[in-house]
Amino acid sequence: MSFPGTGKIWMNGSLVEWADATIHVASHVIHYGSGVFEGARAYNTPRGTATFRLDAHLHRLFDSAKIYRMEPTYSYADLHAAVRETIRANEMKACYIRPIVYRGYHTLGVNPFPCPVDTAILLWEWGAYLGQDALTNGVDVRVSSWSRAAPNTFPTLAKTSANYANSSLIKMEAISEGYSEGIALDTFGYLSEGSGQNLFVVRNDVIYTPPVTASILPGITRDSVIAIARDHGFKVREEMLPRETLYIADEAFFAGTAVEITPIRTVDKISIGNGRRGPITEAIQNGFFDIINGRVEDKHGWLEYVYDGEPRQTVGASTPAGTSART
């Protein structure tokens, strides 16, 4: 998917044309990956366009900035309003939302402190990340030869541009060998996550997912899956999982803003269950799609309508991001 190259981008408080939203090649972020960002979505529901868990995404953005000692120039409320303003200015019905806070142009030493902290919000239309077919029929994946970052190296609770160098290695290896995705292990050999999505495994009717200590990004979708699963009466456990858990799973699926909920049908050419989307995966998918499409009551308050009035006030951050449903 390439960009259409039109529309408005919010940059440091102004809406600018897509083609004019440029930065200098000497900007710190280009050389040292000194950016933190988010990926959220807005959906076209029968009541109108609604963002999905924008509050949790923005709180994670501020957590990421704090870990990297960046002081965003704009407050949570400013960015919340700016996302809504940008969606309205582009007259978007459904879109992917990419806020980014990054170190800009001043000097090019490793020390980022002298560089300004700039902010932008981009939107684009983005359908099913791994293809529409994948949502029903699942994807073929491999366990990556690359590991996720070791603890106390690149902090995985931060969604930072630098971490996506590792994600790109995982993704490129998988694609080069004919797979849709790679699943990375942590440096202790336990299951971690995909290049841009969290991992769930089902065995004997229990849903398992690696904990935040397994070098994962604590996904907002992961948190939503846990809540939906519990709403449906399923048992969910966050546990360190050995690699072979995948091969003997009844079902497995990815969860993330881009992939939404995508079944995994094979890992390393071994069929998961009967090699098709399993019933628990389908139940969780239906629960998720019913909420984002406005077909059921939004009892967790995850949708915020963009075109009707002022944003609802949100109270308190979940720290680390995405842990609010974990009780």
Ligand X SMILES: Cc1ncc(COP(=O)(O)O)c(C=O)c1O
Closer to ligand X by Cβ: residue 49 or 197: 197
- Of 4-12, 111-119, 214-222, 300-308, the window that binds ligand X (rule: CB under 6 A) is 214-222
Q: How many residues bind ligand X (CB under 6 A)?
A: 13
Shortest Å, Cβ 28 to ligand X:
22
Residues 6+ positions from 215 with CB-CB distance below 8 Å: 147, 148, 149, 150, 151, 156, 184, 186, 187, 192, 193
Closer to ligand X by Cβ: residue 144 or 197: 197
Q: Which two tokens stand for residue 11?
A: 């940059």
- Cα 317 to Cα 30: distance, rounded to the nearest angstrom: 30
Per-residue contact string for residues 173-202; x = within reach of ligand X by CB under 6 A = --------------------x--xxx----
Is 159 a residue of the active site? yes
Shortest Å, Cβ 35 to ligand X:
13
Shortest Å, Cβ 222 to ligand X:
6
Residue 189 is given by DSSP the state S
Amino acid 26 reads A
Q: Which two tokens stand for residue 128?
A: 């099913």
221 binds ligand X (CB under 6 A): yes
Per-residue contact string for residues 22-51; x = within reach of ligand X by CB under 6 A = -----------------x------------
Phi, psi (rounded to 5 degrees) for 140:
-100, 125
Per CB under 6 A, which of residues 129..148 are in contact with ligand X?
A: none
Cis upstream peptide for 320 (omega within 30°): yes
Closer to ligand X by Cβ: residue 115 or 253: 253
219 binds ligand X (CB under 6 A): yes
285 binds ligand X (CB under 6 A): no
Closer to ligand X by Cβ: residue 115 or 157: 157
Among 167, 180, 209, 281, binds ligand X (CB under 6 A): 167
Closer to ligand X by Cβ: residue 58 or 306: 58
Cα–Cα distances (Å) from 13 to 75, 138, 178, 181, in that order, read 12, 41, 43, 36
Residue nearest to ligand X (CB): 219
Shortest Å, Cβ 116 to ligand X:
25
160 binds ligand X (CB under 6 A): no
Shortest Å, Cβ 315 to ligand X:
20
220 binds ligand X (CB under 6 A): yes
257 binds ligand X (CB under 6 A): yes
Nearest CA to 219 out of 40, 42, 29 is that of 40
What is the DSSP secondary-structure string of 60-92? HHHHHHHHTT---SS-HHHHHHHHHHHHHHTT-
- Cα 95 to Cα 50: distance, rounded to the nearest angstrom: 10
Residue 220, SS3 per DSSP: helix
281 binds ligand X (CB under 6 A): no
Q: Are 3 and 109 in contact (CB under 8 A)?
A: no
- Options 8, 66, 93, 159, the catalytic residue: 159
Shortest Å, Cβ 254 to ligand X:
9
Shortest Å, Cβ 308 to ligand X:
25
What is the DSSP secondary-structure string of 18-40? GGG----TT-HHHHH--EEE--E
Q: Are 218 and 321 in contact (CB under 8 A)?
A: yes
- Catalog residues that contact ligand X under the rule CB under 6 A: 39, 167, 193, 196-198, 217, 219-222, 256-257
Known catalytic residues?
159
